[in-house]
Amino acid sequence: MQEELTMEEVNRLMAVQKMCRHKGKSYNIDKNNKLEIDFISFDKTDEFVFNFHQNTYILQRRSHQLRTGTIPLFRIDLGSSKMHINPDGGKIHGNHIHYYRDGSALKWAEPIPDGYFRDVNNIVLTIHDFLGKCNVADANNIIIGLQGVSSI
């Protein structure tokens, strides 16, 4: 069973400034269209993992997620033709964002606001913007290679 966090703890975890665990390392999206980067809080008390996945067959379909341990905190889903249905029955079409909600984890979604990301069609730019939203210091300076990514 997955541990639950209070909203106070989630807000603290999202607000804490994060840095790459392995400073100076460059990262490549692998042949399976996946990427994982480890982060740690500046005071080294909290650990986080960023996951990226691009669908192998529908290349516009991508997911970016930040978690602590096994608990997801924040996720965006891009390029999905599927409808997301919230616990209250509300329907979300297209690109959407998931924030952790008390008692519901990431089950709730809402459309990504206009201008929230600079260009969702640019993989590296969207990763950098996502990490910036997660309070990662110098997110734009993290080197990400696209060696394993299929072209959109």
**Has residue 1 got a pLDDT over 50?**
no
% pLDDT > 90, the chain: 70
Antiparallel, parallel or unpaired: β 18-20 and 27-28 = unpaired
What is the residue-averaged pLDDT of the chain?
Answer: 90
Tell me what pLDDT residue 65 has: 97
DSSP E strands, 69-133? 71-78, 84-85, 91-92, 96-99, 110-111
**How far apart are alpha carbons 76 and 63 in whole angstroms?**
6
The whole-number pLDDT of residue 61 equals 87
What amino acid is encoded at 113 in this protein?
Answer: P
Q: How far apart are the first and last CA of the chain?
A: 37
- C-alpha–C-alpha distance, residues 7 and 24, integer Å: 33
pLDDT digits (tens, 9 = 90+) for 19-34: 999 888 889 888 888 9
pLDDT 10s digits, 10-63:
999 999 999 999 888 889 888 888 999 999 999 999 999 999 998 777 768 899
Can you tell me the distance from the alpha carbon of 129 to that of 127, in angstroms, rounded to the nearest whole number?
A: 5
